[in-house]
Structure formats: structure tokens, C-alpha cells
Chains A and B, each alone.
Chain A
Amino acid sequence: MSDYELIKESPLGGAEHEFDGVTVAEVIDQSLVMVALPRDRAVDIESAMGESCGLSIPAMGQSTKSSDASVTLWRLQKNQVLAYFSYDGDDAEVNLAERFDAPAYYTDQSDTWGMIRVSGERSRDVLERICPIDLDPSVFTLGSVSRTVMEHIGTIIFRDGDDSYVLLTMRSFSRSMLHAIEVSVKNVL
């Protein structure tokens, strides 16, 4: 046993704010692992993932879910998929690699991103002040995912509900992103 103990901390300390029509809350129970798909192995990887988890590689800008719905794959790049899954252990990379059992390259990204969920009936009104992507429900359909820039911050946006969006920014930007959302709330509501 070590004399010292490390204590983990989420980027925003679990921040959660309720407004009239919008809830802004940090997402703290999800892990992220980047899965790189070498060109000559993409087919093998997909079939292995299909066998182990019932997953297929989503179309660009879309997501797919494992058969037990615990893992969501985001397709933001041609040669990589990002796995978003309920897990809060330290070894997300190993955990996912074992689940997938597919010959890809895995890289833990759980600590790279801070995640904020903006939900509620006014969520789109708030987000249109910072998000250049068209969030019209018929365009950015349920499960859509996109990487763009909001307030100078590289941001991934994922629609995980009818009126619910998860925004991911590099961890060090988390406070600035939370602030940007709160300014939008103040300006709009």
C-alpha cells in the first residue's frame, strides 16, 4: 500500500444549474476512448465489434449503439471512431479494448474532454448563440454528432435526446465553455 492517495476530480466538479426552460449540467459518468481504424483492418474491426458488442461503424456525423446500449460510437473522422460509454474507472482504454476484442488502436480520451449537457425546451434557443451548426431537429437528428468551434473553443456536440445536447470541449476550456453557455442563458431567457 502506498502512503499517498490520489483523488479524482471532474473538470467542473459536477456543476449543475437549472434555469427556466434549460438545465446545464456536467456529465461525469461517461468515458471516452478513441478507436483508430487502420485502412486495411477496418472491415475486420467492424465485424469483430459487431460480434462482441453488436456495434457497427456509424456514418459520418452519426452514432451507433451497442446491443446493450451501453456504448455509443461517434463518427467524427474517417479513420477513427470515438466510443462514449458509461464507465468511470481509470482504465477505460483497457476496458473498452476487452469489450470490443477488435484489432484497432485504442487511446483513452476520458480526461481530455469536459462534458456539459444542455437540455430543456429552450436548449436550442440558448445554443444558437454559440453553435454554428444547424440544430434544427429535422437536420441534426437524434444521435447526430458534430465537431465544430464555439466561442473559439473546439467543441463536439452530440444530440442525446429530443431537447438534450452534450457539449464536449478540451478539459482546460471547460470553465470557459460553461461560462459561454451561461452567458447565452442570461441573454436569451
Chain B
Amino acid sequence: MSQINRIDGGLIDQEKVLNFTFNGQILKGYEGDTLASALLANNKHLIGRSFKYHRPRGIVTAGSEEPNAIMEIGNGAYKEPNTRATVTQLYNGLEANSQNHKGPLSFDFMAITDFLSPLLGAGFYYKTFMWPKGFWEKFYEPAIRKSAGLGTLSTEADPDTYDKGFRHCDILIIGAGATGLSAALTAANSGAKIILADEDFLMGGRLNSETNEIDGMAGSEWAKKTVAKLGAMENVTLMSDTTVFGAYDHGIYGAIENRASEAREDNDKPRQVNWRIYTKRAILCAGATERLIAFGNNDRPGIMFASAVRTYLNRFAVATGQRISVYTNNDDGWKTAKDLNAKGFRVAAVIDSRSISPVMRVPGAEIYMATDVVDTKGRRALKSIQLSNGKSIDTDTLAVSGGWNPNLHFTCHHRGVPKWNEEIASFVPDSSPPVGMSVAGRAKGTMVLADAIIEGHNQGSCVAADLGYKTSESKPASTPVVSYNISANWGVPSGKNRAWVDFQNDVTAKDIKLANQEGFKSVEHVKRYTTLGMATDQGKTANVLAIGIMAENMGQTMEDTGTTIFRPPYVPVAIGAFAGRRRGMEFYPTRYTPSHNWSTEQNAIFVEVGMWYRSQWFPLPGETHWRQTVDREVRQTRSSVGICDVTTLGKIDIKGEDVSEFLNKVYANAFAKVPVGKTRYGLMLREDGIAMDDGTAARMSENHFVMTTTTANAVSVYRHLQFCHQCLWPDLDVHMISVTEQYAQYAVAGPNSRKLLEKIVDPECDISNEAFPYMAAGEITVCGGTAARLFRISFSGELAYEIAVPTRYGDSLMRVLMEAGEEFNVIPYGTEALGVMRIEKGHAAGPELNGQTSAYDLGMGGMISGKKDFIGYTLGLREELQRDDRMQMVGFKPVNTSDLLLAGSHLLGLRDKATTENDQGWISSCIYSPILGHYLGIGFIKGGHNRKGENVRAVDLVRGNDVEVEICSPHFVDPEGERLRV
């Protein structure tokens, strides 16, 4: 009983058998099949249940517009729900399961909803679940979620990989049917660089499904030859199985390419590639999609689009039934009868709603003109149809054609609104598609193949010529002219029977009528009220039909009724395809410091600081808690010497005759007269007077400074400086370059730091306190001649230096410092100890430079120069920024020194309740000080500078902490700065 519907021929390889399963049943298909064609070959018409009423449903189309045949493919973590069987290329081992039913597909327990349908009309959610109030969240919504919704997720991480890529072309041609191929030929012959993309794995579009003759050969043969010809051209890139999904600004298109057929089962290769295609022009040749007619019970398995019946017959060699009837309102539908006849099938009946003479002779078929189908019978498979003339016809497949809708979606992506064309009874693209896009063929409403080919042919050469390519005279492919006549038919009165409009959302003609009656007149409102045109198919088969029904309901024209428009994506795109390879550790790149390898050898614990990986602390054997390690690192540094990798701080080399003038404009404190060989602390404000960043600038020579920034702001400060230079003071002779990565820079801190450095600094460089005092800077050599830079600056508050060598020596310098420092028990310290020491010393950092604090708030008002214009000067003077009751930065220490203090605690009066109104400020940074033996913090409190000595409470309701603290100076260790200068 294998493949009982399969006939000979088709564009498949009947020698190559593929095994697959559907709901656990093992079935066979052939190479070149889609999942849908293979299912139909095995006479599987019932392939799923509908979303709302759980009606039995069958395959209705043969393309990406499919509303019914959406399935779960694969198992376990690989399971992919809502996959359209009609575009899924069959492969060996494919596992497919139907969706939306409880129990077996043939007996769905949820089908009860179908009998409750009178209660579930348009807007039923809004009407039914409104009361009692509060039930929605607790009861209705979870219940609906459970019974509705489409397929189910695996809930496991997606094991597939995805990639992305970039391609460039002169002309992107979307769709490789007759029009697209014709356009590609002329465009490519001009020498223009072409990308031809098609969503099907077999290029050729409808030519593969029809029996048209082109240039004296079968259309599919012509397509194959043309594709081969194009594929051999250097300037053409063919992308089959690639769906263009969006038209973005300035000629950028998004496209999803599926794993190539030959690699279909290879899970190591990316499942999909998300291409960004840069184009100068695009020609939309996306063809057209057929539409249904609304009649009673038009949703039974076996009722299909007339064009789909032809596709299965001609391309896939599948006869969808033994007694097929056709119901149409246009000439095109008759082709189905003709093709069936040609393959030796008797057609049961052809029913045409138009009052014209039969379009052709169909031997053996009953012909009914000016007649409609009004009802159908057969619950799980179509058995018979009832006609408006009272006749009943036994039939197992009904091929329906309500006409064709141009696939104009991309013309709407920049808000173009389609306009109505009475002649073809459908919407056609408006005159303003996205810039650079033109439309040809059936996508434009040119329904006659011969005309579409000419249009594609001309468009291809026109666009190429427009881009300056030389086009040569050539003849378009020739094909007999077959006219397309249509008379709109939106549906017939169906009495009590439901006439389905949107299969995927279970919207009926009656729902639309109800919505109209209840006052929803705009297509946008009807869409949202009835859910018409939503979900994975986005109403590709439903929208125009629904608009036709609305127009009839309201007695107005199609123009007046209007249409909804389309936005990207054209088809559903997996989130994984947008993420590409950027998952896990590859979410963003990782930057490694020069001492990374050495630190790894020391078993350092690392922390992510932006993209940087920095050493957080260096545990020794036996240390069981991070605090033990950090306390030791602080004590050891403050008592002897410690080393910390500070390469991540931004370093900018600034050269030029006007550098000091420039710095004077961008720093709030004076910089005009920094002597050569000196470093100065600098505070940078934003123009609004708020602190932006702080750092140092060292004058290496008359026209050369080295600036440092915080790690976090390295990039934004550089950008800001470029803005100041290029936009505000373009004639200053200033040349900036980032040297952050050029130098490996280490802080060497502690009372023994000079002694350590003297061991490695070459003897001709004097770094004694006299020769190289606090804030000195200079070029030195180390380890026998290697050039280095030395800065006597300190973040820890100890005698300290920062030494910089070319990064090629960064790893080595760390090892040398550790070796030379052995006699001082030198230790490496990480960002945690660095933080402890800066808080002990009262230096503001990230948590304090939070975008809300002025220099005055930070206690640095005294530094601000009043004698120059600089960024932030004028607006920094605003009264509001200088008020005494602003949140000002001060220190806090627990009154009971054994108390725990937590960063993020809010500050309250001693007897105040913990409410927002009583909130006086917060602790921004907090540590345990191993030197002082208690917790301490810095933070902000209203009017803090004048409240030193006062006690308040630091309250953390989240972590349940409430301690009394004293407001104090933030400079806890060595407030006079004596240690810095020894």
C-alpha cells in the first residue's frame, strides 16, 4: 500500500527512495519530494487539526503560503514546531508529527470545541472572559493557552547551529520563476552582478508545476536549462532554498538559506544561514498565490487549491485523489482539469461560478456553469460536494481556484499600499515600492505568462542599463498566449454551515460579518478583532478573500475597503537564525589581558568587565573563601608590594602643537601648564555639567601627552574627544590614537614598589623619590634596554607606579616582576583588591560616576577651573547642580564595627520608616576593609558634605540588613596622602 497515489514521471527521482515517519508510521517518498507531496503520495490527507475548533484539516497548497500543514519536525531538542510541510524538502529519516490534537489525530479530544463553536465567534475572548474580574489571569488565560496555540517547543536549548553572511550584488532578483529567470538572463548578460534567490529548492517557480511550453520545450525543461546557463556565469550567484524575508533601508535585504540538500542530515553544518544582501537594485518576481472561495465546509481534507493539485500532479507525480472535481471563478482553474485528463484521470465535475460558456472541453466531466459549491460532506476526508443547483457529486478532491493574488509583500515593507485592480480582481503593487525595487510578472499583476516573461526580460535589461551596464538586444522566451479571465467570487450563502476564510486562525465568513455588524469597519480593526491574517501564514491565502467579504457586507468597493499591508518577515524566521553564531561565549568577543596566560597558571578567578576578562583574585592553596584571598592581597600590597594588570584602562596618545590647549578644553581642571615629565589627574565633564570620566594625562614631551581613561569609558571618551576635535575645534593641531593595546601596563603598588622596580629598571634611569617624585612620568628602559613608560600614580593610595612595556613583552614582564619581587613577598592582586583599596582611599569610580553626579556632588568642586571655557563649564554652574541639599558623595562606616554593610542599601533617618518618602540616599560602593577591620562604604546622601559625624541607617530590605552608620569623609586610609609621596 506504499505510495498509492504516486504515478509515473514528475521532477523527482523515483529511483531514490527516502524513508520518513509521520506520527510514528514509517512511510516512503522520493528524492525531490516535499514532506507534503510524500504524505499525499501515501494518501495522507488528514495532517493536522485547526487552531481553535480542532477541525480535521488537510494540505491545501504546495508552497510557503500553507495555512494547515504545519508540523513538528524532528525530535528531542531538535524538534521544530510549525514547520510547513509544503516547503520542507524530504530527507531520509525525517520525523514529522502533526500538531494541535489531544489523543490520536483521527480522534482529537479537543474537537469538542467544534461543537461549541456558536459560543466562540469573533471577539469571543473579549466577550466571554471579561468576568468575573481577576479570572482572566488565574483561570481563563492559562486554560486558553493550553488548548490553543500552535505546536509545542522542545523547551531544550536548540542544538542546531546557525550562521550569517554578507553578499553584495548589483541586482537581486527575488523569485526564479519564468519572470525571474527572464530578468536574470538579460541582466546577467549585461555583466551586472546578479543574485537570483528562490524559496524553493528547485528553481523554476510555477514552470515546474505547469505544462506550459516555452521555446518549444517543457517549461520545467526551459527553467532547468536557464538555471544551468545562469549558474555557469561568473557574475551570477544562484541561491535556491533561500527565502528573502525582508526589504530594509537602502537596498538591504534579509534572506534565509536552508542547509543544502546534500547536507540536510548533517547537524554539524549550520541549519540556516541568515544572509544580509546589499543591493543596488532589486526586481521582485515573486509570482502570485491562489486564493479560496468561501463556501460551506470548505475546509475538509481533500479540498485544495487548484494550482496545488497541478503541482502535486505534474511536479511530484502525485494524484491527490481518484475522483477530482474543480471549482473555479477563472480560466486558470480549468487547467487542473486539463492536466488531470492529460495524465489519464477522469475529472468528476468542473463547476464555474461565471455565467459564460465552458472554457474548454473536459471529456468525461460534468460541467456546471453559473453554479457554486455550497456545502461538502466527509469529516476526515472529503466524500461529496453539494452544488447550488441542488446536485450532489461524489468526489475525493476538490480543486478550488478563487483567482490569484500577486505576491507583492515586499512592496509594502516601506509602507507602500497596494491598490485594487478590477481586471484581475486583486490588489497590485502601488507605485512606490522601496527605493531601488521594481516589480515584474505576476507579482505585478501581469497574469499572462507570455506577458510576464516579456516583462521580466525587459525589466532585467532596463535595470542593468540604469546601473550603467551595456545590454544587448535579445528576444524574450516565447510561449503561447493563454488568457486569464476572472470574475470575483468571494463566497456563496452557506446557511448554517461555516465558510472558512482563514484556515490557520479558524476565521469564518460569519465572523467577519459579525465584526462588521458590531462596528468594526476598518480592515485593521477586523483583523485584530477576528485574528484574521495572523500567525505563521500571515493570511497569505486569506486576506484578499476577507476584504472581498467585508466589501460585500458593507456594500462598498474594494478600493474603499482597502487592505492591510505587510511587514517583514515574509515567512517566519527562527530566532536562532537572527542570533546566528552569537550564542553562549560567542555572544560577544572576549578580550584577554597580557597577563592572562600567567594568571591562568596561577588559578586566578576571572571576571568579565565589558568584553575584557580580568583577574578578579588569585587564590592560594588552602584559601577557602574569596574574602580570605582578597584581604590577603590588600594587606600584602599595603604592607609590601602587589602587582595588578591595568592594561584595560584606556590609553590615548595625543600629539600635536595644540594638545595642552585641547586638554584644557576637555578637562574641568587646568591643563595648560602641565610640565613635561608630569602626570595630572583629570576630571572630564559632559556638556551638561555631569561627571563623565576621570583619569590622568601625562606630558611625555612638549607636543605629546598620554591620557588614561577608565576601562568602561575607553571607547566613549575617545569618541567624545574626536567629537570635540572634529566638530568643535577642527583647526587645533591634535592627533589622537588609541594605544590601549600597544602597552601592557601594570600597577606596582605598596611601600616596596620602588625597591622592586629598581631591580628591573636599567641603572641609567633614576627613579629615586627625588628624581622621580609623586606624579612624575617618563620614558625609561627596563631589563637591559627595553623601552618602557613609567608613571608614578596611585589608585591604591600607596607609593605606587604604573609601568608600561610594548605588549609583546606583557606576559614576560609579569613573570619578571614576580621573580624580582620574590624577596618582598610580592603578590598579584585582582580587580576585587583593587576595588577595596580604591574605596578605602575614597576614589570615585563607576558606581559613583553614574550619570547623575556633578563635580560638586563628588566633592571635586574645588578642582573646577573658573578661568577657562571647558566642556561642562557653563551648564555645570547651574544652581540646581550646586545646591547643598543634593545627593553628595561621602563615606559611611558602621557604628558597630562588627556590622555588615551592603552596597545598594538605602539611607534613612534613625527613626524613619523604610519608605520611599524617607529615602535620603544610597551606598554606592561597599567593601570590608582588612586594614581597618570593618566594613565601609561610599555613597550619596542629601547634603552629605555638611553632615559628617551624623548617624543614619543603611537599610537593605531585599537582603534584610538594617545597620546604623556614621557619615564621614570618604578618605578612610591615609587621608593626607603621605604614603603616596615617600
Chain B residues bordering chain A, tally (CB within 8 A): 59
Set B165, B588, B760: member contacting A2, Cβ < 8 A: B760
Complex: A133 Cα to B805 Cα, angstroms: 34
Task: Find chain B residues with CB under 8 A from A180 CB.
Answer: 589
Interface segment among B429-437, B808-816, B926-934: the answer is: B808-816
Complex: A8 Cα to B731 Cα, angstroms: 40
B647 nearest CB neighbor, chain A only: A172
Q: Are A6 and B809 in contact (CB under 8 A)?
A: yes
Task: Find chain A residues with CB under 8 A from B782 CB.
Answer: 2, 4, 6
Task: Find chain A residues with CB under 8 A from B807 CB.
Answer: 111-112, 171
Q: Are B808 and A10 in contact (CB under 8 A)?
A: yes
Task: Find chain A residues with CB under 8 A from B276 CB.
Answer: 132
Set A9, A38, A39: member contacting B812, Cβ < 8 A: A9
Task: Find chain A residues with CB under 8 A from B808 CB.
Answer: 8-10, 90, 110-111
Q: Are A6 and B735 in contact (CB under 8 A)?
A: no
Set A79, A91, A179: member contacting B787, Cβ < 8 A: A91
Instruction: Known contacts A151-B589, A172-B612; decide if A111 and B735 are in contact (CB<8 Å).
Output: no
Complex: A9 Cα to B598 Cα, angstroms: 13
Looking at the assembled complex, report how far the CB atom of A165 sits from the nearest CB atom of chain B, in whole angstroms: 14
Q: Are B806 and A5 in contact (CB under 8 A)?
A: no
Complex: A184 Cα to B731 Cα, angstroms: 44
Q: Are B656 and A38 in contact (CB under 8 A)?
A: yes
Complex: A132 Cα to B166 Cα, angstroms: 5
Complex: A90 Cα to B783 Cα, angstroms: 13
Task: Find chain A residues with CB under 8 A from B582 CB.
Answer: 151
Interface segment among B78-86, B438-446, B739-747, B830-838: the answer is: B739-747
Interface residues of A in 1-43 (CB under 8 A from B): 1-10, 34, 36, 38-39
Which among A79, A108, A187 has the highest number of chain B CB atoms within 10 Å? A187
Complex: A4 Cα to B806 Cα, angstroms: 16
Q: Are B762 and A2 in contact (CB under 8 A)?
A: yes
Task: Find chain B residues with CB under 8 A from A39 CB.
Answer: 731, 733
Asked whether B655 is an interface residue with its Cβ less than 8 Å from the other chain, the reply is: yes
Complex: A66 Cα to B620 Cα, angstroms: 54
Q: Are A107 and B653 in contact (CB under 8 A)?
A: yes
Task: Find chain A residues with CB under 8 A from B591 CB.
Answer: 170, 172-173, 176
Interface residues of B in 515-543 (CB under 8 A from A): none
Q: Are B269 and A5 in contact (CB under 8 A)?
A: no
Task: Find chain A residues with CB under 8 A from B166 CB.
Answer: 128-129, 131-133
Cβ proximity bits B718-744 to A, threshold 8 Å, 1 near / 0 not: 000000000000010101011111110
Task: Find chain A residues with CB under 8 A from B20 CB.
Answer: none
Q: Are A2 and B784 in contact (CB under 8 A)?
A: yes
Asked whether B167 is an interface residue with its Cβ less than 8 Å from the other chain, the reply is: yes
Q: Are B742 and A3 in contact (CB under 8 A)?
A: no
Complex: A79 Cα to B733 Cα, angstroms: 11
Complex: A61 Cα to B762 Cα, angstroms: 43
Asked whether B635 is an interface residue with its Cβ less than 8 Å from the other chain, the reply is: no
Complex: A151 Cα to B585 Cα, angstroms: 12
Set B589, B735, B742, B759: member contacting A108, Cβ < 8 A: B742
Task: Find chain B residues with CB under 8 A from A98 CB.
Answer: none
Q: Are A4 and B820 in contact (CB under 8 A)?
A: yes
Complex: A29 Cα to B279 Cα, angstroms: 38
Q: Are B168 and A187 in contact (CB under 8 A)?
A: no
Set A3, A172, A186: member contacting B593, Cβ < 8 A: A172
Interface residues of B in 608-622 (CB under 8 A from A): 612
Instruction: Known contacts A2-B783, A9-B812, A80-B735; decide if A128 and B165 are in contact (CB<8 Å).
Output: yes
Instruction: Known contacts A2-B783, A4-B760, A187-B270; decide if A152 and B588 are in contact (CB<8 Å).
Output: yes
Task: Find chain B residues with CB under 8 A from A151 CB.
Answer: 582, 586, 589
Looking at the assembled complex, report how far the CB atom of B471 sits from the nearest CB atom of chain A, in whole angstroms: 19
Q: Are A7 and B812 in contact (CB under 8 A)?
A: yes
Complex: A1 Cα to B270 Cα, angstroms: 57
Complex: A7 Cα to B737 Cα, angstroms: 26
A93 nearest CB neighbor, chain B only: B787
Complex: A46 Cα to B818 Cα, angstroms: 47
Interface residues of B in 675-723 (CB under 8 A from A): 703
Q: Are A112 and B278 in contact (CB under 8 A)?
A: no
Set B590, B731, B786, B816: member contacting A90, Cβ < 8 A: B786
Task: Find chain A residues with CB under 8 A from B167 CB.
Answer: 128
Q: Are A9 and B161 in contact (CB under 8 A)?
A: no
Cβ proximity bits B244-273 to A, threshold 8 Å, 1 near / 0 not: 000000000000000000000000111001
Q: Are A6 and B738 in contact (CB under 8 A)?
A: no
Asked whether B581 is an interface residue with its Cβ less than 8 Å from the other chain, the reply is: yes
Asked whether A175 is an interface residue with its Cβ less than 8 Å from the other chain, the reply is: yes
Looking at the assembled complex, report how far the CB atom of A92 sits from the nearest CB atom of chain B, in whole angstroms: 9
Complex: A183 Cα to B269 Cα, angstroms: 10
Looking at the assembled complex, report how far the CB atom of A178 sits from the nearest CB atom of chain B, in whole angstroms: 11
Q: Are A6 and B783 in contact (CB under 8 A)?
A: yes
Interface residues of A in 52-84 (CB under 8 A from B): 79-80
Looking at the assembled complex, report how far the CB atom of B54 sits from the nearest CB atom of chain A, in whole angstroms: 41
Interface residues of B in 782-799 (CB under 8 A from A): 782-784, 786-787
Set B737, B741, B816: member contacting A111, Cβ < 8 A: B741
Q: Are A129 and B589 in contact (CB under 8 A)?
A: no
Set A105, A134, A179: member contacting B656, Cβ < 8 A: A105
Complex: A132 Cα to B165 Cα, angstroms: 8
Complex: A139 Cα to B166 Cα, angstroms: 15
Looking at the assembled complex, report how far the CB atom of A104 sits from the nearest CB atom of chain B, in whole angstroms: 9
Task: Find chain A residues with CB under 8 A from B809 CB.
Answer: 6-9
Asked whether A109 is an interface residue with its Cβ less than 8 Å from the other chain, the reply is: yes
Complex: A109 Cα to B735 Cα, angstroms: 14
Q: Are B589 and A111 in contact (CB under 8 A)?
A: no
Asked whether B107 is an interface residue with its Cβ less than 8 Å from the other chain, the reply is: no
Q: Are B759 and A111 in contact (CB under 8 A)?
A: no
Q: Are B742 and A152 in contact (CB under 8 A)?
A: no
B161 nearest CB neighbor, chain A only: A187
Looking at the assembled complex, report how far the CB atom of A27 sits from the nearest CB atom of chain B, in whole angstroms: 14
Q: Are B787 and A172 in contact (CB under 8 A)?
A: no
Cβ proximity bits B152-179 to A, threshold 8 Å, 1 near / 0 not: 0000000001011111100000000000
Q: Are B270 and A107 in contact (CB under 8 A)?
A: no
Cβ proximity bits A162-175 to B, threshold 8 Å, 1 near / 0 not: 00000000111101
Task: Find chain B residues with CB under 8 A from A131 CB.
Answer: 166
Looking at the assembled complex, report how far the CB atom of B651 sits from the nearest CB atom of chain A, in whole angstroms: 10
A125 nearest CB neighbor, chain B only: B165
Q: Are A170 and B741 in contact (CB under 8 A)?
A: yes
Cβ proximity bits B605-648 to A, threshold 8 Å, 1 near / 0 not: 00000001000000000000000000000000000000000000
Asked whether B819 is an interface residue with its Cβ less than 8 Å from the other chain, the reply is: yes
Task: Find chain B residues with CB under 8 A from A110 CB.
Answer: 742, 806, 808
Q: Are B737 and A4 in contact (CB under 8 A)?
A: no
Q: Are B739 and A112 in contact (CB under 8 A)?
A: yes
A109 nearest CB neighbor, chain B only: B742
Asked whether B592 is an interface residue with its Cβ less than 8 Å from the other chain, the reply is: yes
Asked whether B893 is an interface residue with its Cβ less than 8 Å from the other chain, the reply is: no
Set B586, B655, B742, B759: member contacting A105, Cβ < 8 A: B655
Complex: A172 Cα to B744 Cα, angstroms: 11
Q: Are A136 and B168 in contact (CB under 8 A)?
A: yes
Q: Which 3 residue pairs across A and B have the least CB separation, nearest first?
A: A176-B589, A172-B591, A36-B735
If A2-B783, A80-B735, A186-B268 are given as contacts, then 15 extra A-B residue pairs at C-beta distance below 8 Å, sorted by A number, are: A2-B782, A3-B759, A6-B782, A6-B786, A36-B655, A90-B786, A107-B655, A107-B739, A109-B742, A110-B806, A129-B165, A170-B740, A172-B593, A172-B612, A187-B581
Give B contacts to A, CB under 8 Å: 161, 163-168, 193, 268-270, 273, 276, 278, 581-582, 586, 588-593, 612, 653, 655-657, 703, 731, 733, 735, 737-743, 759-760, 762, 782-784, 786-787, 805-813, 816, 819-820
Can you list 24 contacts pairing A with B, beta carbon distance less than 8 Å?
Answer: A5-B812, A5-B816, A6-B786, A9-B811, A34-B737, A80-B735, A90-B787, A90-B808, A91-B787, A107-B655, A107-B739, A109-B739, A111-B807, A111-B808, A112-B739, A112-B807, A129-B165, A139-B168, A170-B741, A171-B807, A177-B589, A183-B581, A184-B163, A187-B581
